[in-house]
């Protein structure tokens, strides 16, 4: 009897693995295609059937990091010969790199990328930290009008951003936060906070109260119990919340556009512009997308074990 069941289970398990592999391939194929486009010469980007075997190019990345214009006249042979290898690649692609004070002019990508990192990391930390303690408060203590307060927190994310953008911009001008890192950090923290509170409360509710109460009996203070008992148990929730908040802040577009002029511009509005204004260039935009995907995927990968641990603790003990 047991053997039969385990045989059926084995088959089921294998089928499930096959399904997982199939789904992963389907879900990832657009990403593979973007990633491979980032290394293609422009002429191979839109072939049907898609080109799978090709010799990889770094030209898309050179394009991404330099400011370029259409070549109107071919450079004379001497200029071409003197040019460094990467500039030759741009000449070959029918463009020239703009010069400033003799050197090549960099595109805004590196500085925007850095701004994105600063803003997304800081705002994620703040949103997760505030969300965690607030969720703990809501989960453990009696609060008058708890449901209404929670709904208020949720509702702060319901107004469409296009409408909030104008009053927010006017408000930011008054307090001098337009085009500052702090301005965007505060904005993204507020934006993510409602999500962070709600998700963390979902996880906090799953952790049995009995554990920290036992700790209180053992002589811990409430704060100690929170840090030493509750937080480790909430690791999955914190990891998931952090991943989601980071993704949201990392990719935010509308406010990044409206609230910045120069200093604090982030990368998302820059990447689609790589499509070009004369000839469609999918390779540079793919390169920008691929690089921009790295930090957030690494962040997620590092947290993967926390993400998967689940909320098993509470469940087993119940």
Partner 1 sequence: MIATLKPDSSHALRGLSDLRIRNLFIIPTIIFLIVFNIFPLIYSLGYSFYDYSAAGSEEPVFVGLQNYRDLLSDPNIWNNFTVTAKYVIISVGGQVLVGFGVALLLNRTLPAKGLITTLLLLPMMMSAAVVGLFWQLLYSPSWGVINYVFGLGDFAWLSDADAALWAVAITDIWMWAPFVMLLSLAGLSAVPKHLYEAASIDRASGWYTFSRITLPLVSPLLLIAIIFRTMEAFKTFDIAFIMSTQPTTEVIAIRLYKFAFQEWQTGKSCALAYIVLIMVVAITNIYVKYLNQVKER
Partner 2 sequence: MSKRTFASLMAGVAMTIAGASAAAAEELTIFWAEWDPANYLQELVNIYSKETGVKVTVETTPWSDFQTKTFREFAAKGSTYDMVVGDSQWVGAGATDGHYVDLSDFFMKNKLADKFLPATVAGYAEYPAGSKKYWSIPLEGDANGWAYRKDWFEDPKEKEAFKKKYGYDLDVPKDYKQLRDIAEFFYRPDQKRYGVALYTDNSYDAMAMGVEQTIFSYGGDLGDYATYKVDGITNSKESIEGLKAYKELYKFTPPGWAKAFFLENNQAITENLAAMSMNYFAFFPALANPATNPNAKGTGFFANPAGPTGKRFAALGGQGISIVSYSKKKEAAMKFLEWFIKDETQKKWAELGGYTCSTAVLKSAEFQNATPYNKAFYDSMLMVKDFWATPEYAELLTSMNQRVYPFVISGKGTAEEALNGMTKDWEATFKKYKRYK
Q: Which does 279 bind (CB under 5 to 8 A by kind): partner 1, partner 2, none?
A: partner 2
257 binds, among partner 1, partner 2, none (CB under 5 to 8 A by kind): partner 2
Minimum Å distance from CB 25 to partner 2? 26
Q: Exposed, middle or buried: residue 7 (CB in 10 Å: 0-12, 13-18, 19+)?
A: exposed
Contacts of 190 (CB under 8 A, 6+ apart): 156
Select from partner 1, partner 2, none the partner in contact with residue 82, using the beta carbon and a kind-dependent cut-off of 5 to 8 Å. none
Site for partner 2 in 59-78 (CB under 8 A): 67-72
223's tokens = 């704060």
d(C-alpha 318, C-alpha 316), whole Å:
6
Name the minimum Å distance from CB 91 to partner 2.
Answer: 8
Strand, coil or helix: what is 155? helix
Q: Compare residues 129 and 164 and give the one whose CB is closer to partner 2.
A: 164
Give least dist CB 68 to partner 2, A.
8
278 binds, among partner 2, partner 1, none (CB under 5 to 8 A by kind): partner 2
121-153 per-residue burial string, b: 16 or more CB within 10 A, e: under 16: bbbbebbbebbbebbbebbbeeeeeeeeebeeb
Listed in sequence order, the DSSP H helices in 38-108 are 59-65, 77-82, 85-92
Smallest gap from residue 318 Cβ to partner 1 (A):
7
**What are the two backbone dihedrals, phi and then psi, of residue 74, each rounded to the nearest 5 degrees?**
-60, 140
Of the pair 116, 194, the CB lying nearest partner 2 is at 116
What is the C-alpha to C-alpha distance for residues 208 and 204, in angstroms, rounded to an integer?
8
Residue 103 three-state SS: strand
Considering CB distances under 5 to 8 angstroms, the limit depending on partner class, which of partner 1, partner 2, none binds residue 176? partner 2
Give the tokens for residue 27.
């879900």
Map tokens 């990719």 to a residue.
Answer: 251
CB of 298 to partner 1, least distance (A): 9
Query: Which string of x and - marks every residue 165-204 that binds partner 2 (by CB under 8 A)?
Result: xx--xxx-xx-x-x--------------------------
Q: From the CB of 260, what's the least distance to partner 1, in Å?
A: 16
Q: Contact between 273 and partner 2 (CB under 8 A)?
A: yes
Q: What is each CA distance from 265 to 29, 115, 124, 173, 178, in whole angstroms?
A: 31, 7, 18, 16, 11
- In angstroms, the CA 285 to CA 276 distance is 9
93 makes contact, choosing from partner 2, partner 1, none, with CB < 5 to 8 Å by partner type, with partner 2
- Using CB under 8 A as the binding rule, the residues of this chain from 220 to 259 that contact partner 2 are 257-258
* Residue 98: CB minimum distance to partner 2, A: 6
Interface residue list for partner 2 (CB under 8 A): 42-43, 46, 67-72, 92-95, 98, 100, 165-166, 169-171, 173-174, 176, 178, 257-258, 261-262, 269, 272-273, 275-280
């Amino acid at each position: 009897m047991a053997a039969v069941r385990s045989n059926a289970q084995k088959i089921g398990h294998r089928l499930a693995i096959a399904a997982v592999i199939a789904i992963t391939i389907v879900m990832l194929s657009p990403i593979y295609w973007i990633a491979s486009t980032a290394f293609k010469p422009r002429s191979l980007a839109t072939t049907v059937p898609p080109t799978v075997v090709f010799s990889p190019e770094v030209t898309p990345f050179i394009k991404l990091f330099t400011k370029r214009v259409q070549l109107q006249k071919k450079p004379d042979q001497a200029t071409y010969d003197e040019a460094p290898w990467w500039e030759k690649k741009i000449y070959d692609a029918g463009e020239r790199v703009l010069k400033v004070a003799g050197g090549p002019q960099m595109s805004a990508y590196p500085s925007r990328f850095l701004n994105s990192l600063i803003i997304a990391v800081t705002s994620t930390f703040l949103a997760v930290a505030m969300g965690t303690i607030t969720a703990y408060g809501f989960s453990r203590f009696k609060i008058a009008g708890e449901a209404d307060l929670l709904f208020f927190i949720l509702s702060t994310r319901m107004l469409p951003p296009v409408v909030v953008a104008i009053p927010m911009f006017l408000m930011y001008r008054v307090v001098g936060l337009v085009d500052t890192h702090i301005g965007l950090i505060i904005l993204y923290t507020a934006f993510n906070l409602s999500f962070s509170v709600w998700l963390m409360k979902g996880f906090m509710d799953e952790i049995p109260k009995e554990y920290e109460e036992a700790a209180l009996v053992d002589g811990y203070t409430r704060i100690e119990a929170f840090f030493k008992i509750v937080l480790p148990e909430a690791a999955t929730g914190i990891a998931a919340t952090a991943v989601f908040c980071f993704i949201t802040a990392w990719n935010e577009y509308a406010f990044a556009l409206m609230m910045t002029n120069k200093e604090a511009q982030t990368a998302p509005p820059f990447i689609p512009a790589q499509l070009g204004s004369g000839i469609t260039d999918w390779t540079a935009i793919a390169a920008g997308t691929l690089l921009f995907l790295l930090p957030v995927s690494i962040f997620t990968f590092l947290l993967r074990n926390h993400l998967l641990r689940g909320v098993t603790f509470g469940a087993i003990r119940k």
